[in-house]
C-alpha cells in the first residue's frame, strides 16, 4: 500500500489518523495531489494507493436543472474516485487515476458549505437547501477510514431546513450506526440514499458493490435505527426484457422493505453528455447503443418508449408515494 500525501495535508488530524491506521504503508510526500492524480497510472487493485490532500478554492457547484428536488441544490466533494466498478459510471474515465483521493481539511469544506447557506439565507431564500455529498465517490464503503459521517452529519444538523444526501451501493453502515451510539441522536438533516437495481443487473454492471440482499438488510437496519432513508432506483437500464425484470424486482422488494418508512423515492434513467457517452462507447463494448439517442437538451438519454415504461411501472407500483423522476 502506498500513501501519497501532500506536504500541506500532513498536519491535519484526519491525515494523521489515516496514516496511523496504515502503519506499514509506504509514504510518499508530494507537493500537490494533481501531480499524481492527473497522471495515467494503472494498478491492478484500487486499494494499492491512496492520496491525502488539502482541497483549495473549494467549489460548491449548483446542480443542473431538473436534478432531483427543485430546491436550491449543490454538489460538494470530500473524496474523489470509487472502489466500486460500475460499468456505466462516468468516473471511470473522468479521472486519470483510480486512486481514492481524500481531502482531509473537512473544516474548510464545511466553512465553504456554511458560507453558501448563509449567503442564500441573506439573499432571502428560506426554502430547503440540498447538498449532494456522493457524486464523486461512494463514501459509505470506506467511512470506517475517512470519518465523513462523524464529521459531516452533526455539522449539517446545525442548519434549519438544510438536507444532505449520501448515496451508496454499499451495505457498510457500521459508521452510521456508530454515529447514533456516539451522540444518542436521531439525525434530521441527513438522508442515506440507496441505489437499488435487480440482482441480475448488479451482477452484470455493478461489480464489487453490495448485493441487493445486503443493501435491503442495511436499509431495514437503518430504518429501525431512525435514519431517514431514500431509495433511488438508479440507474434504470434498458436491458432486454426490462419490463418483466423490473416488475419482478419491484414485487420482490415490496415484500422486503416497508415503503411507508422510506423517506422518498427517485427513479432515474441514465444520461450522459455527448463526450462522456463517446468515451463510454470507446471504452466499453456498450451494449445499449441502439437504445440511446441525443435528446433536444443535447444529453444522451434512453429512448422515450422505455422511459415511459419505467414511469408507468413505478408510479403504479407505488401509488401513494411521491416519486421524483429525472426521466423525460
Residues that bind ligand SF4 (CB under 6 A): 82, 84-86, 89, 91, 137-138, 169, 209
How far apart CA 294 and CA 300 sit, in angstroms, is: 4
Best CA proximity match to 187, nearest among 151, 228, 131: 228
Nearer to ligand SF4, 91 or 281 (CB): 91
Q: Give the nearest distance from C-beta 296 to ligand SF4 in angstroms.
A: 26
- Cell output for 154: 452533526
Nearer to ligand SF4, 12 or 235 (CB): 235
- Cell output for 45: 487493485
Nearer to ligand SF4, 84 or 227 (CB): 84
Q: Give the nearest distance from C-beta 15 to ligand SF4 in angstroms.
A: 23
Nearer to ligand SF4, 166 or 189 (CB): 166
Q: Give the nearest distance from C-beta 241 to ligand SF4 in angstroms.
A: 23
- Cell output for 144: 470506517
Q: Give the nearest distance from C-beta 276 to ligand SF4 in angstroms.
A: 12
CA 266 to chain centroid, in Å, comes to: 14
Nearer to ligand SF4, 129 or 196 (CB): 196
Q: Give the nearest distance from C-beta 181 to ligand SF4 in angstroms.
A: 26
Contact 210, 171 (CB under 8 A): yes
Contact 217, 194 (CB under 8 A): no
- Cell output for 150: 462523524
Q: Give the nearest distance from C-beta 235 to ligand SF4 in angstroms.
A: 8
Residue 181: its H or E element: helix 174-183
Nearer to ligand SF4, 6 or 138 (CB): 138
SS3 category, 49? strand
Best CA proximity match to 143, nearest among 231, 18, 26, 33: 18
User: Who's near 118: CB < 8 A, 6+ residues apart?
Assistant: none
Amino acid at each position: 500500500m502506498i500513501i501519497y500525501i501532500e506536504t500541506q495535508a500532513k498536519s491535519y488530524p484526519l491525515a494523521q489518523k489515516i496514516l496511523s491506521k496504515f502503519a506499514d504503508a509506504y509514504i510518499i510526500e508530494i507537493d500537490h495531489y494533481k501531480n499524481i492524480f492527473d497522471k495515467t497510472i494503472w494498478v491492478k487493485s484500487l486499494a494499492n494507493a491512496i492520496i491525502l490532500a488539502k482541497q483549495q478554492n473549494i467549489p460548491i457547484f449548483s446542480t443542473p436543472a431538473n436534478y432531483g428536488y427543485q430546491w436550491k441544490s449543490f454538489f460538494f466533494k470530500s473524496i474523489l474516485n470509487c472502489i466500486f466498478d460500475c460499468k456505466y459510471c462516468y468516473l471511470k474515465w473522468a479521472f486519470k487515476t483510480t486512486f481514492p483521493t481524500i481531502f482531509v481539511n473537512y473544516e474548510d469544506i464545511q466553512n465553504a458549505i456554511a458560507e453558501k447557506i448563509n449567503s442564500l439565507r441573506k439573499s432571502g431564500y428560506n426554502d430547503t437547501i440540498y447538498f449532494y455529498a456522493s457524486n464523486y465517490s461512494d463514501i459509505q464503503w470506506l467511512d470506517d477510514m475517512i470519518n465523513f459521517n462523524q464529521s459531516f452529519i452533526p455539522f449539517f444538523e446545525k442548519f434549519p431546513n438544510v438536507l444532505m444526501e449520501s448515496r451508496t451501493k454499499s451495505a457498510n453502515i457500521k459508521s452510521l450506526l456508530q454515529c447514533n451510539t456516539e451522540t444518542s441522536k436521531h439525525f434530521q438533516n441527513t438522508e442515506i440514499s440507496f441505489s437499488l437495481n435487480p440482482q441480475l443487473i448488479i451482477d452484470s454492471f455493478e461489480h464489487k458493490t453490495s448485493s441487493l440482499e445486503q443493501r435491503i438488510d442495511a436499509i431495514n437496519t437503518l430504518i429501525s435505527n431512525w435514519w431517514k432513508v431514500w431509495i433511488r432506483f438508479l440507474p434504470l437500464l434498458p436491458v432486454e426484457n426490462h419490463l418483466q425484470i423490473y416488475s419482478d424486482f419491484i414485487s420482490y422488494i415490496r415484500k422486503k422493505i416497508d415503503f411507508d418508512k422510506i423517506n422518498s423515492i427517485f427513479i432515474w434513467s441514465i444520461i450522459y453528455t455527448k463526450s462522456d457517452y463517446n468515451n463510454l462507447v470507446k471504452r466499453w463494448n456498450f451494449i445499449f447503443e441502439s437504445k440511446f439517442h441525443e435528446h433536444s437538451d443535447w444529453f444522451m438519454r434512453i429512448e422515450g418508449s422505455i422511459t415511459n415504461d419505467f414511469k408507468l411501472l413505478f408510479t403504479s407500483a407505488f401509488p401513494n408515494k411521491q416519486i421524483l423522476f429525472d426521466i423525460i
